[in-house]
Amino acid sequence: MRQAKTGDTVKVHYTGRLSDGSIFDTSEEREPLEFTLGGGRLIAGFDEAVIGMRAAESKTVVLTTEKAYGPHNQEMVMVVDRSRMPSDVKPEIGQNFQIPGPNGNVLLVTVVAVSDSTVTFDANHPLAGKDLTFDIQLVEIA
């Protein structure tokens, strides 16, 4: 039985957990995730974990922050004066917004703090700075 290698299209079921054991994502109640190994669509550590697996094989891997979404970057946290926001917008912690980035691209940000005068946005991925554990089952190598 052949092993998955870079360039193969694969289908996997997975469950992702944080270090406290809480599940942040799973494919178990939906179709398996299909992607091309080495295609850059997934975090590096997940891709690397699937390489070398055989169809029907399962494994559990722990991805350090560097192999997952990277460290939390304080430079991606910004405090904005509320007067710069539309008056009809009532920001709440956990709310997501799209804002124009420095290169003209759109940034997805999450509200992490609100005061009477400011709103603090975080543009880091919500899982940045965290080690992640994945249970992976390789369903198919196309």
- Average pLDDT for residues 83-88, to the nearest whole number? 90
Residues near 87 by Cβ (< 8 Å), separated by ≥ 6?
none
20-72 pLDDT, tens digit each: 999 999 999 999 999 999 999 999 999 999 999 999 999 999 999 999 999 99
Rounded to two decimals, what is the model's pTM? 0.84
Query: Do residues 8 and 140 touch, judged by C-beta distance below 8 A?
Result: no
Task: State the DSSP code for 31.
Answer: P
Please calculate the CA angle 26-29-31 and round it to the nearest 5 degrees.
90
Show the domains of the chain with their CATH numbers. 9-70+127-141 (3.10.50.40), 74-122 (2.40.10.330)
Burial class (CB in 10 A: 0-12, 13-18, 19+), 123: middle
Q: What DSSP string describes 58-108? A: EEEEEE-GGGTT----GGGEEEEEGGGS-TT----TT-EEEEE-TTS-EEE
